[in-house]
Structure 1
Amino acid sequence: MDAPSQAGSPVVPGRGTGSHEVTVRVPATSANLGPGYDCLGLCLDLWDEVSVSTLDGRGVEIDVTGEGEHTIARDESHLVIATIRRALADLGHPDPRCGLMLHAHNRIAQSRGLGSSAAAIVAGLALGWGIARPGQPLDRDWALAVATQIEGHPDNAAPAIFGGAQLSWLDGDSASAADVISHASGARESISVSAVHHVDLEIDPRIHPVVFVPQRRVPTSAARAVMPHSVPHDDAVRQVLSACLLVTSLSHHPEHLMAATQDWLHQPFRRDLMPESADLIDQLRACGVPAVISGAGSTVLALGTTDQLAGVAGADTRDFAVHQVGFGAGVQLHA
């Protein structure tokens, strides 16, 4: 699970667990998909597994294996723990500051554009729900609203919660990330469940995802900082065409994925932050592979049919971990 990067020690080590244990599996996600900036995302069959038990008293015990095991905080700043606390308070739990023991096995690479922060937030919300509402199915609309409040946009949270491919957006003025919770300031502005929307998008069964994960990390904040305040009108028109074409290409016409994954809104401005990834995209597209930056980067996502993906062999991928992952379902809660 993604979390603040500082290492730490358990606040209260060595206590026995309480009787209430909850487990979740939460998937990686890829947002933007080229032209669908901040509104399109899909769920990948790559999972983090997290369990939490309540403890007597206060404090936390945290055990992490896999991605981030040497850097993730072991205190209350851990993003899953902080989100569990938020969920418990939101759901009216009698003791939102209860002691917690967390075990996480992470497979989602962090700060690589695979939705690790959204996965941590969705995991925390589902775990909090399992503690506060034992035996009840997760209210996924509630989870999406709160996750959006924390993240600032729903494009990763929606597929992490509902699975598959999702188109998601906020009503009216809520669409600005400035109107939602700020991790830096701690400000809390409410977003109602009815203000966040998502639509399930059909995925043509001939389409398969492949991810190329580099060593380079790109913080989302850095990727957003290089974005311009405006783009030329002609580029905006081309972007609208690509985004519309992408929806129909995903559902029924994968033969148009090369044209549908063109982007003029964010990828050109982020190339210098991830030169190896930008170069790989150029190579893949030259070989006929529909390839984009996954989320804010630095992972590269290829979407295509078996014939389209055959072009991967023509690209130099030696500096990338290559995974044929498939599409995934939404978060799974076991309470």
Structure 2
Amino acid sequence: MSLVGRTVTVRVPATTANLGPGFDTLGMSLAVYDELQVTAREQPGATVQVIGVGEGEVPTDETNLVVRSIAHTFASVGQELPGLELLARNAIPHGRGMGSSGAAIVSGIMAAKGLLEGVVEFGAEQLLALATELEGHPDNVAPALFGGLTITWMTPEGPRFKKLIVHRGVSPLVAVPRERTMSTALARSLQPQSVPHEDAIFNVSRSALLIAALVQSPELLLAATEDKLHQSYRASAMPETDALIQMLRGEGLAAVVSGAGPSILVLGSDPAQRLRAAELIAEHAESVWECLMLAVDFRGATVVLHSDDAAA
């Protein structure tokens, strides 16, 4: 079956991972979206046009992460890759701890899923496995794929996930520094190979409490977002992020590093809390930060196959 002429449109949300104590385990999708249109063509290779974030910066050929993710997905199911034309409209900030690389990977996998509709069917666990192979960890790609709050874990058979619906009282804010970025690889290199036993126990208790706070009891978010596994070790690489988080937490607000940083996630228990957080950041920040008042995305990634007028 020829795929030439098929066009798909993909929409993928931003994500925030760790959420404080849930290192490499918890993630949540946020209502900021990268949108992608992909058309299969006869001419081999790939051309990419980027509008918005990353324009003039990311590769526009076969080395583009989205194209590599499409190719990886086709190869995983033994399908020949057609030529590709991509138009990417990006809104997720790059290098800020909002899951931009995970979104690019998920965009490619979902585009491949759409192009192969009626040829190959993909299950949820298969999609997660493909995304984890490319990203290295499932905590960002799971919420990008499935939406909501996700718990991920690894098994001998591959990554697994559980999606939960966040309490309607939870009001996220992401404060994004205009100038600073953070490499995930650098952030990971700052962490020790082992941690004290009491710190591990501390984080187990807070992670369990955080699920309860996000799903049922938002008033517990401040205590539930305490962490001793990763944030303090990375603080030296992003001192302003750390100083603002300590200030916000001192004011009773559940502030944590968003993903690998340097952005800050504030989990308000009501809208007034995140307004207060934005005011405090504007008052205390030494550089320019943009405060995004965001909803939790509950749907996750979507793909529409236009030529067959079918949606997934």
- State TM-score, norm by structure 1: 0.85
Partner residue in 1 for 2:171: 208
Match of 1:223 among 187, 191, 198: 187
One-letter amino acid matched to 1:63 = Q
CA distance in structure 2 between the partners assigned to 1:282 and 1:90 by the alignment: 45
Q: How many residues align?
A: 296
Corresponding residue number in structure 1 for 2:280: 314
Give percent identity, aligned residues only.
40
What are the residue-to-residue correspondences of 1:274-313 with 2, within 5 Å?
A: 274-306=238-270, 307-312=272-277, 313=279
The one-character-per-residue Cα deviations of 1:132-160 (angstroms, maximum 9, x if unpaired) are: 22598753321101111111111011101
2:239 partner amino acid: P
Kindly state the Cα deviation for residue 92 of structure 1 after the two structures are TM-superposed.
2.7
TM-superposition CA deviations, 1:1-36 (whole Å, max 9, x none)? xxxxxxxxxxxxxxxx95211110001000000000
Q: Distance in 2 between matches of 1:128 and 1:278?
A: 39
Distance in 2 (CA, whole Å) between partners of 1:50 and 1:139 is: 21
Partner of 1:68: 54
| Unaligned segments of structure 1, at least 5 residues | 1-16, 173-193
Gaps in structure 2 of 5+ consecutive residues? 306-312
Question: Within 1, Cα distance between the matches of 2:280 and 2:302?
Answer: 37
Alpha-carbon distance between aligned partners in 2 of 1:134 and 1:280, rounded to the nearest angstrom: 50
Aligned equivalent of 1:102: 86
Superposition map of 1:136-175 within 5 A: 139-172=123-156
Distance in 2, matches of 1:80 and 1:301, equals: 26
What pairs with 1:126-145 in structure 2 (closer than 5 Å)?
126-134=110-118, 139-145=123-129
1:323 to 287, 292, 303: 292
Tell me which amino acid in the other structure corresponds to 2:304.
Answer: H
RMSD across aligned C-alpha pairs, in angstroms? 1.7
State whether residues 287 and 314 of structure 1, in contact with CA within 8 Å, keep that contact through their aligned partners in structure 2: no
Q: Distance in 1 between matches of 2:193 and 2:208?
A: 23
2:15 match: secondary structure: strand
CA contact (8 A) 2:5 2:40 kept: yes
1:44 corresponds to which of 30, 35, 47: 30
CA offset digits 1:62-101 (Å, max 9, x no partner): 10011111210111110000111111122232x22x2111
TM-score (norm 2): 0.91
Cα distance change of structure 1 residues 115 and 274 upon mapping to structure 2, 3 Å threshold:
same
Q: Could you say if the C-alpha distance between residues 213 and 223 of structure 1 is closer, same or farther in structure 2, counting changes exceeding 3 Å? A: same
| Equivalent of residue 70 in structure 2, options 76, 79, 84 | 84
- For 2:40 and 2:304, how far apart are their aligned partners in 1? 15
- Displacement of 1:282: 1.3
